Amino acid sequence: MEKLRLGVLGGGIMGAGIAAAFRRKDVPVVVYDIAPGGREMVERNLFREEVSGAEFTDQLSDLSECNVIIESVVEKIDVKQELLKAVEDVVSPSCLIGSNTSTIPISRLASVLQRPDRFCGIHFLHPVRNRKLTEIVCGEQTAPATLDQADAVLKSVDQTPLWVKDCPGFVVNRLLQPYLNEALILLQEGVDMDRIDNAAVSFGMAWGPVKTMDEIGIDTTFNAGRVLYEAFPDRITVSPIIVSLYKSKCLGVKSGQGFRVWDGSEPNPKAQKWRMWVEKDNPMPEQEIIERLIRPMWEEGRRILADGIVESAEKIRIAACDGLAFPTRFGYLFEQPDFQLNM
């Protein structure tokens, strides 16, 4: 394999995390971003990742020598397609182009490309430094050689590839969304957000679902949720709580305030208008909260398996445990046909 030179489209939290994963292996990286203050944002995010040496540019032409491109911009199909189409005109015909989209089907993104055979999903997980699993998503026109190249690229930076078929949300985010969705329902039922997060952490999750939404970004949660709602309207709820936060520009860690004020210890007073949709306080027992959060994940895992997105229940377990930090001692749930949670 020729010497890697990576181009990352988007210098936000995920883009910086991806860039850092390659810089730790001394791979030359060019980060492209046109946001106001883009260079400062990229440098700040890379500083958090404790790496340096990535180049910054606001000119697509500076990516012409890259042989791998990973797009990681806002989770909106029109924005992604416009940028992917533009970068395809800049790089060589042999360049591997991947999207870090968390929910948008790869085949839909590829529909604007001249070379969809060179395009696939390369979905890193947040936080990248702590999540070694990366989904490789095969679109309808993705060539087998492209998947093999993506696999080799990921292994070269110590990531563990999980090959999945194309669908909205793939595997990891199809498992994550019901967890977040149920947390929003619990909030609206009057269960305190600290009680929800503490129950999830007590179960063994690295983060509770409310903190997770703040960490990945309220905007990302909103946009990804919209994609999945359009795909699966029978089981995704449009929550007025997340809409309220999004419209208030309380975007979580990236903006310094979301459900909580970050450092993450106190509720965000600027975001409390969402409480107008909350019923009276609900002192729900911890065990019930845990079962409410986890059962929808298990149910979605069974649907993913039935849909043939991966070939075995073991792959669902791996996606949950290695991709979402689901507690390994409860990973057996995803390999059993009935929901039996033995705490």
Q: Which amino acid is at 304?
A: I
Contact 135, 304 (CB under 8 A): no
Contact 23, 86 (CB under 8 A): no
Distant-in-sequence, close-in-space partners of 78: CB < 8 Å, separation ≥ 6: none
Select which of 80, 123, 254, 260 is catalytic. Answer: 123
Q: In whole angstroms, give the CA distance from residue 150 to residue 160.
A: 11
Q: How far is CA 8 from CA 57, 98, 172, in A?
A: 10, 10, 22
Residue 112 has, within 13 A of its CA and on its CB side, a CA count of 15
Helix axes 193-203, 209-216, angle to 10 degrees: 100
Strand partners, 96: 68
Q: Is 126 a catalytic residue?
A: no
For 234, the token pair is 């029978």
| DSSP string computed for 266-334 | EE-GGGGGGGGG--S-----HHHHHHHHHHHHHHHHHHHHHHTSSS-HHHHHHIIIIIS---GGGGGGG
DSSP secondary-structure letter at 196? H
Closest residue by Cα to residue 11 from 65, 70, 62 = 70
Contact 99, 107 (CB under 8 A): no
Helix axes 172-188, 286-307, angle to 10 degrees: 150
Residues labelled catalytic: 123
